Amino acid sequence: MAETELERAEKRYAQAKARLQALKNREATRQRKLDTRRKVILGGALMDLAERDSSAAAMLDRLIRNLSREQDRKAFAEWDAPSPAPSDEGAT
């Protein structure tokens, strides 16, 4: 049985729709990866700042204590939060 023009058009439509969905999925994955990268970079920057700035260290501690999900808090249970190193201002 020969394929009709309508059937060929429906087949091309279905293929185009599948390609479009694949493109949307790839873009969503790219955006999630970029979002995760930003979070990691900001987290590292905050941890680095907390080693130099007591107010940043306090903010980091407050953020950890106020995490809403128990499993997120558990990730920091045995972690030693960075704290500012003592300054050498009084040393001679």
* 57, 30 Cβ separation under 8 angstroms: no
pTM summary value: 0.69
Per-residue pLDDT of the chain (92 residues; tens, 9 = 90+): 678 999 999 999 999 999 999 999 999 999 999 999 999 999 999 999 999 999 999 999 999 999 999 999 999 888 888 878 776 554 44
SS3 string, the chain, reads CCCCHHHHHHHHHHHHHHHHHHHHHHHHHHHHHHHHHHHHHHHHHHHHHHCCCHHHHHHHHHHHHCCCCHHHHHCCCCCCCCCCCCCCCCCC
